[in-house]
Amino acid sequence: MRYIRLVPSHPTDDWSTRHSVLTTARRTAALINALTDEGARPSDVADVLRAYGEADPIELTPHDVATMRTAAAHLREVFTAEHTDEAAATLNGLLREHTGPLRLTSHGGTAPWHPHLDHADDAPWAEWLLASSCMALTVLTWDQQRPPGRTCASPTCRNVFITQGSGQERRYCSRRCATRERVAAHRRARAAERPDSPHA
């Protein structure tokens, strides 16, 4: 149903948090990262959707994943934008080319009324991904007046991440990337201090 539903098995989850713009934007980043892997299977993408509250059954075909990968490539450009103007211009292009007019839906009364930019509640997955992502990234750009996310600073990582809501300014997608790059920088510094020593 392409919308994060309240899952009865998690009654203590905070509805407003799980449906927030920030959560939707983080789901976008997670989907872009999963779809960047050319070997990603429908089950891998379904796992990400499920982790962000999509209810089973999640029906995804290889064709859905292929078209979602194209959508993810478009969305990645928002994350590579260096400045707010560039992020806004990229989003304006996506909104012009790939989304419908703003509309409200309650998915037939099964969800609170909320805005959508896809053409219909049963739109194809790729259209849903672009529309829901453009909505969240647009609101974050509006709210913070800076790009909503960025790409990981590690040269060996292609992940994108949402910069908002993460405290201090982050440069890496994960603790794992930050630690790896810190160790690498430390090794480089030590090697520079002892230029005559053999490489470890």
Q: In the bound complex, what is the minimum distance in angstroms from residue 190's beta carbon to Zn ion?
A: 23
Candidate residues 99, 154, 163, 164; the one interacting with Zn ion per rule CB under 5 A: 154
Binding mask 177-196 for Zn ion (x = CB under 5 A): x-------------------
Identity of the residue, 72 or 131, whose beta carbon is nearer to Zn ion in the bound complex: 72
Binding mask 94-133 for Zn ion (x = CB under 5 A): ----------------------------------------
Please state, in angstroms and as integers, the Cα–Cα distance from residue 44 to each residue in 38, 58, 76, 99, following that order: 11, 11, 19, 25
Binding mask 159-178 for Zn ion (x = CB under 5 A): x-------------x---x-
Candidate residues 22, 58, 157, 178; the one interacting with Zn ion per rule CB under 5 A: 157
Q: Residue 108: exposed, middle, or buried by beta-carbon count in 10 A (0-12, 13-18, 19+)?
A: exposed
